[in-house]
Amino acid sequence: MDEYREKRKRLVERLRDEFGLSDDVVKAMIEVPRHLFVPPHYRGEAYNDYPLPIGHGQTISAPHMVAIMCNLLDLKRGMRVLEIGTGTGYHAAVVSRIVGDEGLVVTVERIAELAERAREVYQTLGYRNIRVVVGDGSRGYEEEAPYDRIYVTASAPKIPDKLLFQLKPGGKLLIPVGDFIQYLYIVEKDEYGQITKKNWGAVRFVPLVGEEGFED
């Protein structure tokens, strides 16, 4: 048992009560040690519910945002999931616990140093169902497509077509869209390939930078 476990459990139980999290999300968030993903000098703040700087002008999202997104994704064991924006690797770690070893999480990060740090933490924790790719995730990741679920942890100017193509029929995509004012969209592709979009509400993310994102 790690020294932060009680603090983590208290935070996750509070989030469960506030947002009605599923048992799978609660279990995964209690299991994943967020303090090992944040920069060492922020460890003491890892179980406070706010974003933290992670270097390169980027942030790790607040725990409630990770919880809400995991809940909205309605993840199941064995699913193949694509994350755009690895950052520290924490969010993908939570998703990986829910999809289990029969599932796969592919996470794409444009900043090589962040990707490398995330890989090291996964190795330390023995998480083997996560593949970290360095590149421009605004184009998705064709090599492992199609995906049951795709989610983006940076805000895009519009929903990238390539992400829609790489989503399975029956799949879900979560993506923040906008510049100063951003909204989180829940996009669903039905069995016939028909797309529907729902606006979940206002959010605040760093920009998605790339071919189908914002300019650097």
Smallest gap from residue 21 Cβ to ligand SAM (A): 17
Q: Does 153 bind ligand SAM (CB under 6 A)?
A: yes
- For the question of residue 138 being annotated catalytic, the response is no
Contact between 178 and ligand SAM by CB under 6 A: the answer reads: no
Q: Which two tokens stand for residue 211?
A: 């071919």
- The half-sphere exposure of 56 on its side-chain side, counting CA atoms within 13 A, is 17
x-or-dash pattern for ligand SAM, window 90-129, by CB under 6 A?
xx----------------xxxx--x---------------
User: Which of 136, 144, 162, 188 is the binder for ligand SAM (CB under 6 A)?
Assistant: 136
Structure tokens at 54: 């992670």
Report whether 140 contacts 106 (CB < 8 A): no
Residue 100 or 207: the one with the smaller Cβ distance to ligand SAM is 207
Answer positive or negative: Cα dihedral of 203, 178, 83, 38: negative
Instruction: Report whether 183 contacts 115 (CB < 8 A).
Output: no
The helix (run of H) or strand (run of E) holding residue 176 is strand 167-178
Amino acid at 142: E
Catalytic residue among 61, 96, 138, 155: 61
Going residue by residue from 20 to 59, which x/- string records binding to ligand SAM, judged by CB under 6 A?
--------------------------------------xx
State the nearest-atom distance from the C-beta of 135 to ligand SAM, in Å: 7
**With the CA atoms of 16, 17, 23 and 25 taken in that order, what torsion angle do they form, in degrees rounded to the nearest 10?**
-10
Tell me how far, at minimum, the Cβ of 213 lies from ligand SAM, in Å: 5
- What is the C-alpha R_g of the chain? 16
Residue 166, classed as helix, strand or coil, is coil
State the Cα–Cα distance between residues 78 and 72, nearest whole angstrom. Answer: 17
Q: Is 138 in the site for ligand SAM (CB under 6 A)?
A: yes
Nearer Cβ to ligand SAM, position 67 or 194? 67
Question: Is residue 140 a contact point for ligand SAM (CB under 6 A)?
Answer: no
What gap in Å lies between CA 83 and CA 174, rounded to an integer?
10
Q: Which tokens go with 196? A: 């529907």
Is there binding between residue 154 and ligand SAM (CB under 6 A)? Answer: yes
Q: Is 182 in the site for ligand SAM (CB under 6 A)?
A: no
**Interacting residues toward ligand SAM by CB under 6 A:** 58-61, 84-85, 87-88, 90-91, 108-111, 114, 136-138, 153-154, 205-206, 208-210, 213
Q: Which residues are catalytic?
A: 61
